[in-house]
Amino acid sequence: MAKFKGDIVINTERCKGCEVCLAACPFTVIAMSKEVNSKGYHFAMKINDECTGCTNCALVCPDGVITVYRAKVATE
């Protein structure tokens, strides 16, 4: 079976820290940072590498700050 691996890139300067993406992620890849961005919001960040590229977080993000990558991984 072909495996997919995914990755998200979060535009942390545009993130407003609404935390809607946290509930949408099925693998708890996203958490809020302790730091703040230049607007003073705690931004979303990746905390592990279990992302499959399902795009759920990017779909619900009101500000559209998440870009999702997904690639097929060759299995042995």
Partner 1 sequence: MEDKFAKTEIHKPENIVYKKSDLMVDRPLSYCPGCGHGTAHRMLMEVIEEMDIQDKTIGVSPVGCSVLAYDFLDIDMIGAAHGRAPALATAIKRLWPNHFVFTYQGDGDLAAIGTAETIHACNRGENITIIFINNGIYGMTGGQMAPTTLPGMRSSTSPYGRDVPTMGHPLKITELVAQLPGVYYVTRQAVHTPNNVRKTKKAIRKAFELQKENKGVSFIEIVSNCNSGWKMTPVQSNKWMEENMFPFYVLGDIKVDGKLVEKKETVEKD
What whole-number distance in Å separates Cα of residue 52 and Cα of residue 34? Answer: 25
Residues in the site for partner 1, rule: CB under 8 A? 5-7, 9, 12, 14, 16-20, 22-24, 33, 35, 41, 45-49, 53, 55-56, 58-71
Closer Cβ to partner 1, 40 or 76, answer by number:
40
CB-based contacts of 7: which residues, under 8 Å, 6+ apart? 49, 51, 53, 68, 69, 70
Give the shortest CB-75-to-partner 1 separation in angstroms: 16
What whole-number distance in Å separates Cα of residue 44 and Cα of residue 47? Answer: 9
Closer Cβ to partner 1, 2 or 62, answer by number:
62
